[in-house]
Structure formats: structure tokens, C-alpha cells
Amino acid sequence: MPMIMEGGLARLSGQVAIEEAEPLAEWLRATPDAALDLSACEGLHSAVLQVLLAGAPALLAPPPDPWLAGLLPRTPLPNSTAEVP
């Protein structure tokens, strides 16, 4: 499964397809302090990338691909020392 949401954390892994864009957008709208773990993400469909850029969740762990990581702003969690479990 390329996307798992647990509370305020979404873990995206493997190749994240266009089918994940709408559920991700809905989750971001419903989760004000959303955070992402992309440490196992190998690629994102452009629609998913647009959702992430528009939703601007905190990025706890960037994807391993430097090019993909460079597309995403690394947003720290305000007043938080949260770590990816």
C-alpha cells in the first residue's frame, strides 16, 4: 500500500499513483497539523506532488531521491520535536 495515514502522519511509499491524490487532499484538509514521511517514497504522480505543494504539510522525512526531495519544501513542525517513529 503506497499510502498509510495514522493520526497526523501520512507515510507514502513506493510509486504513489494518481489514485492517491484525492484521498491525500481530503486527509490534508481534515488534518491541520499534518506531517509526512516520504523516506520510502520512490516516486510521485504529478497530481500527488501538486496536492503536497498546495497542502504544505510538514515534511518529517524526505524521499531518498535527491531530485524529488528538492521539489518539496522541508517544513519543520512549529514548536515540535516530533520524530518519525
Answer whether residue 19 shows pLDDT above 70.
Answer: yes
With respect to residue 10, please indicate whether it lies within any of the assigned structural domains. Answer: yes
Q: Report the domain count for the chain.
A: 1
With respect to residue 30, please indicate whether it lies within any of the assigned structural domains. Answer: yes
Torsion sign over Cα 6, 50, 22, 26: positive
Domain assignment of residue 26, given as a range? 3-71
With respect to residue 85, please indicate whether it lies within any of the assigned structural domains. Answer: no
pLDDT at 84: 45
With respect to residue 81, please indicate whether it lies within any of the assigned structural domains. Answer: no
pLDDT at 75: 58
Answer whether residue 81 shows pLDDT above 60.
Answer: no
With respect to residue 17, please indicate whether it lies within any of the assigned structural domains. Answer: yes
Output the pTM of the full model. 0.81
Answer whether residue 79 shows pLDDT above 50.
Answer: no
Strand bridging mode 9-16 / 35-44: parallel
Bigger pLDDT: 76 vs 28: 28
Give me 84's grid cell. 518519525
